[in-house]
Amino acid sequence: MKLLLVLVGALFSWSVHAEPVYRCGNTYSQTPCAADTAAKKLPSSAAPDAPAGPQGESLCATEGLSRLGLADPEGARVLGVTKLGTEVIRYADKPTAARKFAVRFNPRNAYGGLAGEQVFHCFLSEDGRRVLAVESAPQGARP
């Protein structure tokens, strides 16, 4: 029995090995990107670089407005963004923890004038880099 366990353990440890990883600018590849590229060993716990782009409040102010379905999202003025904490929402038919923000904005009406202050709620992923949901706040709601 012990011999069988030792053989199985040896088999699994032999089949798990690190392959060389090549850095090509800001990305990593398993194939060399240039002739002078050197292989680099990365630990298995290495985390990817954080993607560039807006996050948190600025993401809600830009992407959140575009998801509201306004006639002119670029013409809307953002008046303020307030973090409201964390809330569990339904995302992909599963309960998901999300960061909740209230965004105060003033959209343009059909004539190009400002229509008056409104509020919507923006829900971001826990890392603050993806908009999970956007919903209009109840009438008269203030952050």
Give this prediction's pTM: 0.60
Please write down the long-range contacts of 122-127, taking CB distance under 8 Å and 24 or more positions apart: 122/59, 122/60, 122/64, 122/81, 123/87, 123/89, 123/91, 123/98, 123/99, 124/55, 124/56, 124/59, 124/60, 124/98, 124/99, 125/98, 125/99, 126/97, 126/98, 126/99, 127/55
Lowest-confidence pick of 13-17, 18-22, 67-71, 107-111: 13-17
pLDDT of residue 1: 61
Is the pLDDT reported for residue 69 higher than 60? yes
Is the pLDDT reported for residue 52 higher than 80? no
Is the pLDDT reported for residue 4 higher than 60? no
- Mean of pLDDT values over 7-22: 58
